[in-house]
Amino acid sequence: MAILRGLTLFRTSCSAQSLRISRQYATASGPLKRTGLYDFHVENGAKMVPFAGYSMPLSYGDVGQVASHTHVRKSVGIFDVGHMVQSNFRGKTATQFLEWLTPSSLSALKPYSSTLTVLLNEEGGIIDDTIVTKHAQDAFYVVTNAGRRDRDLAWFKEKLDEWNASEKGKEGPVEHEILEDWGLVALQGPQAASYLQSLTSFDLKQLVFGTSAFVPIEGFNLHVARGGYTGEDGFEISIPPSKTVEVAKLLSKPPVQLIGLGARDSLRLEAGMCLYGNDLDESTTPVEAGLSWVIGKDRREAGGFIGAKTVLQQLKDGPSRRRVGLVVEGAPARQGAKILSPTGDEELGVVTSGIPSPTLGKNIAMGYIKSGWHKKGTEVGVDVRKQLRKAVLTPMPFVKSNYWRG
């Protein structure tokens, strides 16, 4: 009965959570942008909401968010992520340029392999989290967040101009191409591979988590990357603008279901994934965010990236706060809820994301807590609507990941 009560609560609370997220990124003025699948969503009964400056599907028809969430965990769903910004960087010094902007060892990447990394400001704060894929020695495919589009693109331009005017840049200038209006869809779930395999002669078993390839799919030659934001096996597929709707229709036949923002948010939180604007911002470093693993071993010694002074100091001395997972008793803790000592007399941190987990039937949350209180199993309190709720620090992901690693 506790699980059933949790799911009932989730149906009403997850929608509110998604709408809060959407408002956070809604444009202050001007019309919302539309992905190439806007009409496709409307035709399929989508409830459209503002998100990251775009009109995006929250849910479809009378399919509830719990049902959508569960379908991805058990079968396969498809998400429109065409609001994300897709870019190509090319040039003789493209590797060095991107290693200046990020703390990762991109030179060590093999062709058609990728890594999560972060763009850092001068103080080591996270401008955005991003996936960087190496295509060739001097060519990279980069995906950044829609909600950070203006900030990211202005940063890229500023730093490209600075780089190309420098001695290194003169050795080989770097070009930045924005793939405007290109489609991007995510096929996610334990049946994603078998469904996609039925549409291609390419052996998808060769494509392990974190790698990509150009794959022939029913006459289309598409960039397919194995990975995603749900913790399940899956693929992110980049599509030329003129083919986006056709490919989406091809990829959304049973057992595939269309999945909206509501389920995407609950899936990513169960998987321990950050949402920029909630769990990451420019005042947060990768060390505080538990993303130290994106910092290459050679970069820890040599530095050479923007924000290195702060980041390397925190690696040496430890940060003052750390990102943690929590299981909260009684009621879900939302973004902004204070994390307190068990007696409630000391403020220790803040919740950045929280939901009732459909998979676990428990209230889960992510947040930042004062170092020294961050060990797993530590009991703390959380202020939920002025009531002190018991919470236990829990390792993430909350739900075991099922990535295909071969």
Binding-site entries for substrate: 236
Rg (CA), the chain: 21
CA angle 381, 387, 389 (to 5 degrees): 35
DSSP 157-187: HHHHHHHHTSHHHHHS--EEEE-TT-EEEEE
> What's the one-letter identity of residue 166?
S
What's the token pair of residue 48?
Answer: 């459209």
Is residue 21 within 8 Å of 51, Cβ to Cβ?
yes
Hey, CA dihedral for 291, 294, 297, 298, is it positive or negative? negative
Backbone phi and psi for residue 52, each to the nearest 5 degrees, phi listed first:
55, 35
Q: Which residues are annotated as a binding site?
A: 236
DSSP annotation of 360 reads: T
Helix (H, G, I), strand (E, B) or coil at 327: strand
Q: Count CA atoms within 13 Å of residue 352 on its CB side.
A: 22
